[in-house]
């Protein structure tokens, strides 16, 4: 490998600390012009004194202009390294879970920046979110076939991150044939996942442990699942003894999946759905004096970029406040956020403010995080994004 990308003086501090990203303003573009690199090309990263620090793939058109794939300057990201990293990732998941339903590759957390792979038994759903991974698409398929031996592989390349990398968006089955229904099991409950036309890869494995905790609190309870998607929270609540579950989402297709998943688990008599804007639905429920024992608020990311923090925090505050108004005198609120830019202490502030706004008392009885199949890279705070608070809300 002859291509080299040299950093400015002192711009190697984060890399020394273990981070995998390089920003375009850290590159010595006089010594090594970024414009000379093809998007996705691999290069040796050098400190300002010329010392090799590792190998990265480069995208000169992105703010994150390079992502480290190996600390060994002699190592390329190729089939051999992919097979090795996939084996490492698989070994971890097989040590954690007794069934093949999990996130198999979690980007930087598995030292494969820009790549996500979710496993649904014999079906793998991949997101190639960067130019570096896009250029290796065929090699990725080949390495997955060697390590996992799936019957089908889907490229779900429709993420917003691809737009930032100036990549086209597409969804296609790149190997094998999809079964009529792609199945998964989580916490003993069965689901079908819309891997072609659903959100992200079709499922959100990251809340698995948080759902498992909530499942132990819902027996005999009336449950409201807001932003329900295909029923990950709500159907599991019904399967674990909730007396009644109402799932609210703006997507008719997602709610049809809720109904199908309820039937799949024999709880259709206790699961109902309501289509529409969540805030409007909450207002309608209040107008009808409806109250619930347990409410789940698990919205999409309200804060996608730093500039969205102020407005996003307001949205989280309003959502939690309005949800709390639908709780009975002694209820449980499960409040989640997948916004990386919402710090855990800020989510705590949000629920604290909502409790005081309702002139109630709150007790945080659960603090949750993303599951172990979404490993956090200790040097990359961005890989730790999911938060969940279980809050008892009651009156004197």
3-state helix, strand, coil in the chain (%, to 5): 35, 30, 40
Residue with tokens 């990549």: 167
User: How far is residue 332's CA from residue 161's CA, in Å, rounded to a whole number?
Assistant: 35
Query: In this structure, are residues 92 and 111 in contact, taking their beta carbons and an 8 Å threshold?
Result: no
Angle, in degrees to the nearest 10, between helices 79-96 and 137-147:
50
Q: CA angle, corner 227, sides to 211 and 280, nearest 5?
A: 140
d(CA 233, CA 334): 10
- Residue 65 catalytic? no
Q: How far is CA 386 from CA 7, 138, 205, 344, in A?
A: 32, 31, 11, 9
Dist CA 331 CA 324 (whole Å): 9
Stated length of the chain? 396
Q: Which of 65, 126, 247, 338 is catalytic?
A: 338
**Interstrand relation of 183-186 and 244-249 (parallel, antiparallel or unpaired):** unpaired
Distance, CA of 268 to CA of 139 (rounded, Å)? 43
Active site residues: 338
């Amino acid at each position: 490998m002859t291509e080299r990308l040299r950093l400015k003086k002192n711009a190697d501090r984060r890399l020394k600390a273990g981070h995998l990203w390089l920003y375009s303003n850290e590159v010595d573009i006089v010594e090594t012009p970024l414009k000379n690199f093809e998007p996705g090309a691999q290069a040796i990263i050098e400190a300002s004194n010329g010392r090799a620090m590792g190998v990265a793939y480069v995208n000169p058109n992105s703010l994150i202009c390079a992502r480290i794939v190996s600390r060994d300057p002699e190592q390329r990201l190729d089939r051999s390294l992919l097979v090795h990293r996939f084996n490492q990732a698989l070994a971890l998941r097989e040590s954690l879970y007794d069934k093949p339903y999990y996130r198999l590759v979690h980007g930087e957390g598995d030292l494969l920046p820009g790549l996500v792979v979710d496993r649904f038994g014999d079906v793998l759903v991949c997101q190639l979110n960067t130019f570096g991974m896009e250029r290796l698409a065929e090699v990725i398929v080949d390495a997955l076939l060697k390590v996992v031996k799936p019957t089908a592989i889907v490229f779900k390349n429709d993420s917003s991150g691809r737009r930032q990398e100036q990549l086209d968006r597409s969804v296609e089955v790149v190997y094998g044939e999809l079964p009529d229904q792609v199945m998964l099991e989580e916490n003993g409950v069965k689901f079908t996942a819309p891997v072609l036309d659903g959100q992200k890869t079709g499922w959100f494995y990251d809340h698995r442990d948080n759902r498992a905790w909530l499942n132990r609190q819902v027996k005999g309870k009336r449950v409201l699942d807001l932003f329900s998607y295909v029923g990950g929270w709500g159907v599991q609540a019904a399967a674990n003894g909730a007396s009644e579950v109402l799932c609210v989402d703006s997507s008719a297709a997602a709610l049809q999946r809720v109904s199908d998943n309820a039937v799949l688990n024999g709880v259709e008599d206790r699961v109902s759905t309501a289509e529409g804007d969540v805030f409007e639905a909450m207002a309608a429920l209040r107008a009808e004096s409806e109250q619930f024992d347990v409410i789940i608020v698990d919205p999409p990311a309200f804060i996608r970029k730093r500039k969205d923090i102020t407005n996003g925090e307001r949205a989280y505050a309003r959502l939690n406040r309005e949800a709390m108004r639908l709780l009975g005198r002694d209820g449980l609120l499960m409040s989640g956020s997948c916004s990386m830019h919402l710090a855990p202490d800020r989510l705590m502030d949000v629920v604290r403010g909502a409790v005081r706004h309702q002139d109630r008392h709150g007790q945080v009885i659960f603090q949750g995080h993303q599951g172990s199949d979404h490993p956090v890279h200790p040097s990359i705070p961005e890989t730790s994004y999911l938060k969940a608070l279980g809050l008892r809300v009651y009156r004197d």
